Amino acid sequence: MGFTVRARFAPSPTGDLHIGNARTALFNWLFARHSGGRFILRIEDTDFERSKRSYEKSILEDLSWLGLDWDEGPDTGGDKGPYRQSERLELYKYHAGRLIEDGLAYRCYCTKERLEELKDKQTAAGAPPRYDGRCRDLAGAHPPAGVIPVVRFKVPVKTTTFYDGVHGLLKFDTATIGDFVIMGSDGVAAYNFAVVIDDALMEINHIIRGDDHISNTPRHILLFEALGFKTPLYSHLPLVLGEDRIPLSKRDSATALKRLRDSGYLAEAVVNSVARLGWSPGEDFMTLAELAAAFSLEKLSRSSSVFDKERLKYYNKTAIAGKDAQSLIRLLSLSAPGAGEDRLGEVVEAVKANAETLTGLKTLVAPFIGEPLPDEEALKVLGADGAGALLRELKDLVERAGPIDEASFSAIMDGVKEKTGAKGKKLFMPIRAALTGTTAGIELVNIFRLLGRERILKRLDRWV
């Protein structure tokens, strides 16, 4: 049987996915699909206080929305499951027991107070906090009464070396680590232990994750070796920064995928924007299949990238303009009573190139499928000196004109300009405000064409 790439995305259901999480998921998915491998979704939910099934549901919905399907996961199953850590607790206990039996881990009875005191002394002496190994040699001795132990891994003193797919060769002196906890006193596996057991038993052979996990990697490699498992290949991505140059987190609601979706951003625009965070496949708009075909670990950047909202807007505008009118109508659940489907499609087709978001598209469409309510800026324009006289001249010329087309529009505007002396914004703004209820939108000639002579006259009646 040939070698098959197995990559994974393993979020914690303690909040909504943000752009940084999405980048990790996307790069793992692209790598798996580029390699003809498998993409596994695992839910790391052993933080029982903060983990919620509602967040898990939201994560699955966000990934599906982006188009990132998974081959194995909590909802699809697979032969390496379960795919929730909360359902794998016995596996962690079993492998912790193996390490204890082999003399590679031990029970530690140190109290929290004793550990805090040790940490304070080390910090005061300018040394990095690390466990001093007091309980390493308690085998055969009587353990303290009333203390529920944790299980610590015996860290061998050595240099751990691994090749990182992004950063190249990395070396760590394990003497700085200290014996770390792999099972808590509550019987729950620590992150560094659970993730190794999961990756080993799920046969994950490539791990793409954030730079914040580099310091964990020596611990993971030591555990893989102690348990007799094959060590996967690692690639650590520099973190995604916000505009404030601070790494994005679940607290950054503005970059949560749910927030972006609700704000009218399309999944393909988010994918194209996120794909450029630490990778440069070119600036052309690309499908997921095209991104997967081009993906390469060797081309990932070693520098942090800043999430660029303007780039997202650019790709979103491109995505909206590239969609057919009927797709956009379905996305927005638009209807135009009495206008007919063809008429609605004509309106959407005419205005879509001006929209940055689906929300903006809905705003642009609104004046043509219903009677507009003028906004505050429009009312200000309509109340300005000369606006009423200008609109009266416009109404008179429209009444005398035939069907509205480009030629009749030009003649009408020339006539209004000649009779009122208005030009530029003083000419266009009152007309736009009266016909659409807003001072921004598509070109005036298209407003005339979409409204038609009768509706133009009806709307002007309100202001003259």
* 8 A C-beta contact, residue 188 and residue 45: no
**Distance between first and last Cα of the chain:** 81
DSSP state of 278: S
Rounded CA gap, 412 and 275, in Å? 49
Closest CA to 307 of 270, 334, 337: 270
Concatenating the DSSP letter of every residue in 50-77 gives T--HHHHHHHHHHHHHHT---SBBTTTB
pLDDT digits (tens, 9 = 90+) for 185-221: 999 999 999 999 999 999 999 999 999 999 999 999 9
Tell me how far apart the alpha carbons of residues 43 and 250 are, in angstroms, rounded to a whole number. Answer: 16
From the list 319, 351, 340, 314, the residue with the least C-alpha distance to 450 is 351
**Tens-place pLDDT, residues 66-118:** 999 999 999 999 999 999 999 999 999 999 999 999 999 999 999 889 999 99
Q: What is the pLDDT of residue 319?
A: 97
Euclidean distance between CA atoms 194 and 223, whole angstroms: 10
Average pLDDT over residues 336-356: 82
Q: What is the pLDDT of residue 1?
A: 43
Beta bridge partners of 306: 241
Q: What's the pLDDT at 250?
A: 61
DSSP state letter for 375? -
Q: How far is CA 149 from CA 135, 312, 386, in A?
A: 10, 50, 84
Is residue 87 within 8 Å of residue 129, measured between CB atoms? no
Is the per-residue pLDDT at 337 higher than 70? no
**Taking each helix axis from N to C terminus, what angle separates 191-201 and 89-101, rounded to the nearest 10 degrees?**
100
CA 419 to chain centre: 55
Reported as half-sphere exposure (CB side, CA atoms, 13 A), residue 389 has a value of 10
In a 13 Å sphere around the CA of 305, the CA atoms on its Cβ side amount to: 20
pLDDT at 254: 77
d(CA 195, CA 187): 16
pLDDT of residue 266: 97
| Angstrom distance (rounded) from CA 283 to CA 351 | 25
50 backbone dihedrals φ, ψ, rounded to 5°:
-100, -20
Phi-psi region of 180 (alpha: psi -120 to 50; beta: other; left: phi over 0): beta
- Quick count: other Cβ atoms within 10 Å of Cβ 139? 10
3 state SS of 334 = coil
The string of pLDDT tens digits covering residues 417-445 is 999 999 999 999 999 999 999 999 999 99
Residue 77 and residue 45 in contact, taking contact as beta carbons nearer than 8 Å = no
Structure tokens at 413: 């505007």
Strand partners, 381: none
pLDDT tens digits for range 224-283: 999 999 999 999 999 999 888 888 876 667 789 999 999 999 999 999 999 999 999 999
DSSP-based three-state secondary structure for 444? helix
Domain 376-461 top-level CATH class:
mainly alpha
pLDDT tens digits, residue range 365-420? 999 988 899 999 999 999 999 999 999 999 999 999 989 999 999 999 999 999 99
How far CA 251 is from CA of 236, 307, 346, in Å, comes to: 22, 15, 41
In this predicted structure, the answer to whether residue 341 has a pLDDT above a threshold of 80 is no
Amino acid at 5: V
Residues taking part in catalysis: 250
- Dihedral sign computed on CA atoms, order 380, 386, 388, 390: negative
Burial class (CB in 10 A: 0-12, 13-18, 19+), 127: exposed
Question: What is 192-249 written as a DSSP string?
Answer: HHHHHHHHHHTT--EEEEEGGGGGGHHHHHHHHHHHTPPPPEEEEEPPEE-TTSSB--
pLDDT, average across residues 131-148 = 80
Contact at 8 Å (CB) between 9 and 43? no
Which pTM value belongs to this model?
0.91
DSSP helix/strand/coil, 178: coil
Pick the CATH number of 1-322 from 1.10.3470.10, 3.40.50.1010, 3.40.50.620, 3.40.190.10: 3.40.50.620
Look at residue 245 in the predicted model and tell me its pLDDT.
85
pLDDT at 194: 98
